[in-house]
Amino acid sequence: MRNDKRDEFVIPNALPVADLSSLHFRALPPLSLYIHIPWCARKCPYCDFNSHETRAAVPEERYVAALVADLEQALPGIRGRRVTSVFFGGGTPSLFSARSIDTILGAVRARLVLAPDAEITLEANPGTVEAGKFREFRTAGINRLSLGIQSFDPRHLKALGRIHDGNEARRAIEIARRNFDNINLDLMYGLPGQVVEEALADIETALGFDPRHLSCYHLTLEPNTYFYRYPPALPDDDATAAMQDGIEARLAAAGYEHYETSAFAKFGEPLIPHPSSLIPARSARCAHNMNYWTFGDYLGIGAGAHGKISFLDRISREMRVKHPERYMEAAERGAPVQEEHAVGADAVGFEFMMNALRLNQGFPARLFEERAGMPLTAVMRELDAAERRGLIERDRARIAPTPLGRRFLNDLLQIFLIKEAGLKVE
């Protein structure tokens, strides 16, 4: 992108430069729905999500009723808005029965305007029990399945505390392919004791199933996890960088678009156009996650679920009660939201960039005002600083991280965080 002519950098339909103290929206962003199911068969040692190992019978029916009550109580803030995607995350949502998933989706359709072509994703483990339900999930209305494979190597699966083995993973993918056109495979690299050749072997195995989407995550040691307290021996930085480079090159050669930090989409398939105009019609990008990255709105229901809802003059963030039992009690008495706060004008620039700069191709310049409710001039000094350091490139239409900015994303985002903290931008 050209960036040598600053006088040509136009901010389309910008608000007055002086109006930087509050948010103003001409139209509200797209809306997604996230549904959290917090239970899993076993808590993985690297997982920092709000997930709880099943030690007794899961109160499935009661939890479904709590979700419906939660949704009912959220309606005043989103009434009349169309939902473009639904995502069941966890935990392990596939532990629930297809009947429960059908009940939840029925409640959604009865209360919200769900787009006819809405992407409806369910996260699933490749264990034998869950795989046996795949056909029923499809009948219930799920049209995209995300399988938590992580690796096909039995040694690495054991190190990660996964309850499936490589053969179960392969069988689950075959069953999924018979029932779903749109499948994502989650893989991880930088695993304990892993070498570059083993990471690339996992990619080759995954490519053999021709999935439309792959998520490839670098294993990180997150606080409040077993691995953080008792760190395993991990590959060094040089090895993980070689893994990352090798994965990106192999997937590019196989026709996958590396569109987000950890996400790769098959390009060129005759897919139904996504509801978002920001996603190419012939791309298998995850529409739900793209709504996150482009700073869209999302209602989150379920234990510990987070949400972001825009109004004409503000953005509200909220979090549900975290513990499943206390969440059900709170939803039953009509108070599932534990925390709620407005995103201030001093913080919205960082929050927008924290999402949008994960996209390798960046974002249209006009999107900042549309989704952040402020003119782009509000972050112009930060953009100038990022460009001087070679972390972004921009022209009149688009702003994108450079290869250096993608590799040092945290350093890039720190520039926008400085403003939120009230510090001087150099």
Confidence band of 132 (pLDDT split at 50, 70, 90): confident
- Tokens at residue 60, please? 């499935």
Confidence band of 54 (pLDDT split at 50, 70, 90): confident
- Asked if residue 420 has pLDDT above 70, the reply is no
Q: Are strands 52-53 and 39-40 parallel, antiparallel or unpaired?
A: parallel
Are the CB atoms for 62 and 3 separated by under 8 Å? no
> 43-52, pLDDT tens digit by residue?
999 999 999 9
- Asked if residue 280 has pLDDT above 60, the reply is no
Beta-bridge mates of residue 39: 52
Segments in 333-408 forming alpha helices (H)? 348-356, 366-372, 380-388, 403-407
Neighbours of 223 (CB within 10 A): 7
> 150-193, pLDDT tens digit by residue?
999 999 999 999 989 999 999 999 999 999 999 999 999 999 99
- Give, to the nearest 10 degrees, the angle between helix 409-420 and helix 348-356: 170
> What per-residue confidence (pLDDT) applies to 13?
37
Confidence band of 298 (pLDDT split at 50, 70, 90): very high
Nearest-CA neighbor of 307 among 287, 329, 273, 337? 337
Confidence band of 244 (pLDDT split at 50, 70, 90): very high
Are the CB atoms for 378 and 416 separated by under 8 Å? no
Neighbours of 136 (CB within 10 A): 15
DSSP assignment of 127-151 equals SHHHHTTHHHHHHHT--EEEEEEE-
Rounded to an integer, what distance in angstroms lies between the CA atom of residue 120 and that of residue 359?
A: 22
- Give, to the nearest 10 degrees, the angle between helix 324-332 and helix 60-78: 60
What's the angle, vertex CA 33, arms to CA 284 and CA 15, rounded to 5? 85
Find the helix or strand (DSSP H, E) in which 249 lies.
Answer: helix 237-253
> What per-residue confidence (pLDDT) applies to 268?
60
- Asked if residue 306 has pLDDT above 80, the reply is yes
Asked if the bond preceding 296 is cis, omega within 30° of 0, the reply is no
What does pLDDT average to over the chain?
90
Are the CB atoms for 104 and 302 separated by under 8 Å? no
Q: Which residues contact 319 (CB under 8 A, 6 or more apart)?
A: 300, 304, 305, 306, 307, 337, 338, 339, 340
Rounded to an integer, what distance in angstroms lies between the CA atom of residue 189 and that of residue 376?
A: 37
Only one residue has tokens 């950098």, namely: 9
What's the angle, vertex CA 166, arms to CA 165 and CA 172, rounded to 5? 90
- Cα dihedral: 145, 150, 153, 154 (round 10): -90
* Percent of the chain surpassing pLDDT 90: 84
Rounded to an integer, what distance in angstroms lies between the CA atom of residue 68 and that of residue 61?
A: 11
> What per-residue confidence (pLDDT) applies to 47?
92
Rounded to an integer, what distance in angstroms lies between the CA atom of residue 139 and that of residue 235?
A: 43
- Range of lowest pLDDT (25-34, 272-281, 307-316): 272-281
**Sheet of strand 183-189: strand arrangement:** 256-260, 263-266, 213-218, 183-189, 144-150, 113-124, 82-90, 31-37, 297-301, 306-311, 314-320, 337-342
Beta-bridge mates of residue 52: 39
Q: How far apart are the first and last CA of the chain?
A: 23
**Sheet of strand 398-401: strand arrangement:** 363-364, 398-401, 392-394
